[in-house]
Amino acid sequence: MPFYNNYKSKLNNKGYNMIFTDQELYEAVQNNLPKANAYVNSHGGDINLLGVKDGTVYIELIGTCKGCAMSLMTTKMVVQRELRALIHPELNIVNVDGTPENTLPDEYYTQKQQEEPEKKSNSGIINKIKELF
């Protein structure tokens, strides 16, 4: 069941509105990102959740997906589609890739993490081969 179903009483008669706070949206994306990340992982990449501002989620594709010519398609047709199905149908995902139109705003919501636990590498066969050499 999509996350937004819990909030139907707050939706207006014109359709869906982004009715979540940035914090609620950040937490929902953080919890559902592994489902959208499976495809990216299969190509030797990974997704960093950078933050949320006014219903727009800012991510960064890393690994072999960073700078890939297909990164825009991956962001919109894989990541955004999956998260829209899981969280809210009007969710917008932006891959912060260094281009002027895809930048992180000056102010945005992000959770401060005390210490990041050592990340287990499962980001694809390419990185596993690189580790051997």
Q: Which residues contact 74 (CB under 8 A, 6 or more apart)?
A: 39, 40, 43, 61, 65, 68, 95
pLDDT of residue 122: 55
pTM of the prediction? Answer: 0.72
pLDDT of residue 82: 95
Evaluate whether 39 touches 74 at the Cβ level (below 8 Å).
yes
- Strand pairing partners for 52? 57, 109
Per-residue pLDDT tens digits for 73-110: 989 999 999 999 999 998 999 999 988 999 999 999 99
Evaluate whether 79 touches 90 at the Cβ level (below 8 Å).
no
Evaluate whether 82 touches 36 at the Cβ level (below 8 Å).
yes
Per-residue pLDDT tens digits for 40-73: 999 999 999 999 999 899 999 999 888 888 888 9
Domains, the chain, in order of start with CATH, read 18-99+123-132 (3.30.300.130)
